[in-house]
Structure 1
Amino acid sequence: MSRMKTYDGPVSDHFDGLTFFDPDGVPPKSLREVLRWQFGGGRQRATWPVWAPSPHADTPPARVDGDKVRLSFVGHASWLIQAGGLNILVDPVWSERVSPVSFAGPKRHNDPGIAYESLPKIDVVLVSHGHYDHLDIATLSRLAKDFAPRVVTPLGNDVTMRSTDSAIKAEAFDWHDCVELGGGIAVHLVPTRHWTARGILDRNKALWASFVLETPAGKIYVVCDSGYGDGRHFRRVAERHGKLRLAILPIGAYEPRWFMRDQHMNPEDAVKALADCGAEAALGHHHGTFQLTDEAIDAPAKALVEALDAAEISQQRFVAMKPGQVVEI
């Protein structure tokens, strides 16, 4: 029996009293399937360069006011979004590794697109789920010490944060909750096709989500991690939230497909997701910083170009980002 602290709350259509589940998804792969992927015959894991620096680096302004939104890509699934006088970090990871231990596990292949020391005062942090490449306790603790931001996260992840560092000001919410952040900014937590865990005994003991940010420049759909399935999660966001100015969509960590299909989109899936959610434009992330799966470091960006051409969608509508790149809308 695990003594790990986990979420305790009422049963719902996606929580059975012990674990969370996606009524329109599939369970995560079993340990047997993990071992088959890692150690089975015929695995073809691309070799990444030891260091692959981005040609970009950003020093953001203190604030962005008016009807503009400034988005700076930090790397992997980490973003700084500035709007309405607020500075919002999404899934912030400044650590060298995304792992339960500091001496092993996936390691950075490039620096964060914003040096930590160049960050403006952070008001809000959004954390999508508990996987180590998204919920980085070391970074959250550093942010808590330096800025004491609100941390908005799906149910149960607050338990993970506070059980490690009580200074992290975590607030937990359910799917479809709306949180007012101030400055005319609000965030909606929306279902996404994924799962979560921090170890082998807490699988799906916390919830996972994507975000729809209401900003002065329009709605921004932030998908930190998701499989595609039949696309219904993306179509439902369009139905529920209407016109989207921008979608941030994952395009990496997708090989081998037999293992990753249900939890991570490939670029072809991401192009379908863009069509389903109907956003005016998209930015591709979740690639090129940490090697979590088997594809080459540049494979997602190349495959995105091919998928857009095949779908007859302009290359300018969906761009694969590099750390340090900035987009203003």
Structure 2
Amino acid sequence: MITISRICLALTLSLEFASTSMAEVQTRKIPVLSQILDDDGNPAEDISGIACLNGLGPSPICLLINDEDREGQLARFGSDGISPTARFKLLTKSTQASALGSPPGENKCPAGGDSFDDLDGEAVAADSAKKVFYVAASHGCSRKKGKFRISSFLLARVAMTNSGDVATVDTTYRLSDVLNRGDLVPFFTHALKEQNGDSDASGLNIEGIAVHGSRMYVGLRAPLIGGKAVIVVANVENLFKDGKERLAGPFKEPMLVSLGSHAGIRDLAALPDGRLLILSGPTLDQAIGSQVFLFDPEKPEEIPNPVAAIDGSLGKPEAILYISQDKSNLKFLVLSDSSPNGSPVEYSVFIGPKAPR
């Protein structure tokens, strides 16, 4: 069933959209043809990331992550819906020792600890040209007890075969080296909770990643810097160089984006032209809604364009997938946490004629 609503936008869609203050949004629930399961074989209710690869069969093959699992879920995304296929291990008994780079040398998590447990996977990105997925852990303390878990500071690279099977899984600790610097140092390995009464100064926590070319964009749920959400930029190849040495730089400065009061990043998705879709949401549990913005990382000084408000009645909007764009419409998928199978909803946004970039 298709529902149509008019969403009043706070800003003029001036970057690529026709000059208008209103956007027409159509939504459509996407069927999940069989249950997406967690590690225990139960219906997944904490889906936190999705990305898809094109060119490996008649329909895109996708990777979904359920928070606090050690496995990933592959699926096909076709015209009839999402069809889960194989599950595979992201972490094994040898991962802690075999991961590239070195784990964080400091531990400011309030409950301490140094265990190697689940991945705490929060984000997925895809590079169709290289046939690889990337899965990022939270890179923060555990949410319930504030523990330090070494496995939560990993980034995984999943290489696929031409037939859509998993070929290899490599992991690295080096994304921590990019995060633990500059203005983000005071928040690294701090608990995701209020610090000094400021809900925007919560401990560092990854919620979204996107890859375009050699760049990985890392979107943080928290903290906010100067009231703005943070996108960290890393070179993908540097993260996965052989050896145990840490990254020494040079590093790009993080980008700060205005998404609204108390709004951090809940997920990112890359468009083919390099622009990013940003799914926003509260840094903690503030009573604010989720939105999708369009942002050009080549023009970081420009305010992101609001695209659509996201329905939060199905759960907490947590993952976004770019589907397509033509001269008139932009399509993307949103999945929600605290909802069985993520309750996927397709959004089709009328954007009008596209101007030259």
Tell me: higher relative CO, structure 1 or 2? Use CA pairs within 8 A at least 6 residues apart: 1
More strand by share: 2
Normalised TM-score (structure 1): 0.31
More helix by share: 1
